[in-house]
Amino acid sequence: MHKEFSETSQRPFSLPSRPWVMTQEWHHLLFCHWRIPPEMLREYVPKELEIDLFDGTSWIGLTPFKASKTRIRGLPAPPALHSFLELNVRVYVTYKGAPGIYFLSLDANSWPVVLGAKTAALLPYQHASMKLSKEEETVHFQSKRTHPGEPDERFSVSYKPESDTFIPIRGTLEFFLYERYCFFIKKGKRLFRGDIHHDRWRVCNAECMIHQNTMVSFLPRRYFQEKPMVHLSKEKQAFAWTIKKLR
């Protein structure tokens, strides 16, 4: 058992039996979540996946963060490529009872990351111009999509912690949103699963000011005018496996 899996016993779902292939660290993760009716998401999520509900509603999340120390198993982190900024738009799904994530979009400020993830993991990465800075406890993040032929979507936010850190408890909304260890991809007629591992999420309530949000421009803006539920996680080391075809 690798030392990085020392908390596996606390993990709600089992690890794949094959070796992991990539690891990276995540920093300053912000989670902004809004309620959204599942019927508004249905046409954007593959029909093979069920939209997961908590108390009768589905959720959509925007997650900006910094990645660092990205490396392939057995190789050192490449000096010029291991660190980048990212912004994910995610919804929550199940496949044959397994809870996971479906990404509506993933933006990153590194062309090698965008092209590599599109090729290796079939994920819908797009290039964006991004900035992240920190003043004491406050993090400032800005993203402007620059990918050719894609909508000019933007997200600008400032955020800081406002509570002690806690581990989500089973049965809570926080557990529903965060304790998921795989994502699903539809490519043509094929469905794939990607597995990830890290220790249990440690999050805190956060205060945030959204300065601009035009992400997910195909959805009605009224859903994003509500005050989001916001959490922050300071750092996390994650491990990823090669994607696996499901059907």
CA distances (Å), 120 to each of 114, 185, 219, in order? 10, 12, 29
Domain ranges in the chain? 3-245
Give strand pairing partners of 195. 182
| pLDDT recorded at residue 71 | 86
Burial of 128 (0-12, 13-18, 19+ CB in 10 A): buried
Length of the chain: 247
CA pair distance 138, 98, nearest whole angstrom: 36
Give me the chain's average pLDDT, please.
91
Per-residue buried b or exposed e for 90-106, using 16+ beta carbons within 10 Å of the residue's own CB = bbbbebeeebbbbbbbb
Mean pLDDT of 13-32: 86
What pLDDT sits at residue 7? 40
- Cross-strand pairs, 185: 192
What is the rounded CA–CA span in Å between residue 189 and residue 186? 7
Please tell me the class of the 3-245 domain. Answer: mainly beta
For the entire predicted model, the pTM comes to: 0.91
| Tokens linked to 143 | 């993203």
**Taking Cα atoms as reference points, which of 151, 158, 182 lies closest to residue 32?**
158
Identify the pLDDT of residue 16: 75
**Nearest residue to 86 (alpha-carbon basis) of 62, 115, 112, 65:** 65
